[in-house]
A = this chain, B = another copy of it.
Amino acid sequence: MMHFTKFEDKATAEKLIQKALDYKRDPWIDQAKGQRKRIGCIFLNPSLRTRASTQIAAQQLGMEAIVMNMDKEGWALEMREGVTMNKGTVEHIRDAAGVLGSYFDILAIRAFPSLTNKQEDLEDFVFNQFIKYSGIPVISLESAIRHPLQSLADMVTIHENRGIDKKPKVVLTWAPHIKAIPHAVANSFAEWAIGCGHDLTITHPYGYELDENFTKGANIVLDQKEALAGADFVYVKNWSGFNDYGKILNTDSSWMLTEKHLKHAKNAKIMHCLPVRRNLELSDEMLDGPRSLVMQQAHNRIFAAQSVISHILDQK
């Protein structure tokens, strides 16, 4: 693994989960590993958890993290090849990424999708331009189509909360939202849950089918009630249309999870990646109740990032 952009294979995932758990037990065991190494964290979009957890993870490895908000602190980037740059963009990704590649040992990039140019989003165009031109290992801090550090933290959280004997039933349920939201978290969660061997059911209103490249192997059930029955973990997430790309097709608030929805899932734990719009995506009752794992997921982001950075340092 040179880059960390997606689920690779079960063995690697299990190794990363185990490493994350080790760091959670003792965050400072590898403090010498990152000495004299630098990670550059580049944000093309806002971030709270990802920003802080990545800096903390680096610090716990004795590594220097330098954070840059592009477009605000740096220069507006041109992403397309061969264009004459006589418009608003000031620097080409080829040059910016090339320079960053010579300044850092690892880059970590956040680059959301446009939700308007489906082809470019599906190719993870912006994120891959960083990979193409930086020449060093790149970690995804959420790209157009995946959020693998979130998913790794989610897998760690499921690992911590599952029973030993029974294969857990994991349900990914769509939730209402007022904005067009990317597919990255849902895609990645499906990819990792299936890849890690969990029994995954996905439920959403008609029309909200996700990209099949991520959901192959999951059980798709349009009836939310049926999907939730017997769930051990319920991952709540909004996403916008994929076939009808970037569109809001439904705002039916009955899809918002409450205690009532879990009548037939007595032991179900609730997961969400945050930020969450309370009482729109998920009720206060759920978020603040005993079923909620959201704080544990967020806390595990530190150790997921630490595990991945450490793993990449091992490969170099």
Contacts and interface: CB of A to CB of B under 8 A. Distances in A.
Nearest to A176: B86
Contacts of A69: 72-73
Interface of A: 28, 36, 38, 40, 43, 46-49, 51-53, 55-56, 59, 64, 66, 68-70, 72-75, 78, 82-86, 90-92, 94-96, 98-100, 102-103, 178, 274-280, 284, 287-288, 294-295, 298-299, 302
A174 to B, nearest CB: 17
| Chain A interface helix/strand/loop/mixed | mixed
A131 B278 CA distance: 20
A278 B84 contact: yes
A48 B43 CA distance: 13
A64 B47 CA distance: 19
Q: Chain copies in the assembly? A: 3
A95 B280 contact: no
A157 to B, nearest CB: 13
B96 A48 contact: yes
A86 to B, nearest CB: 5
A51 B68 contact: yes
16 contacts: A47-B74, A48-B68, A48-B91, A48-B96, A48-B99, A52-B66, A52-B100, A56-B103, A59-B64, A69-B73, A82-B284, A95-B287, A96-B275, A99-B274, A99-B295, A99-B298
Contact of A51 (B74, B82, B92): B74
A74 B91 contact: no
Nearest to A31: B36
A61 B79 CA distance: 35
A48 B72 contact: no
A276 B38 contact: no
Contact of A52 (B49, B94, B95, B103): B103
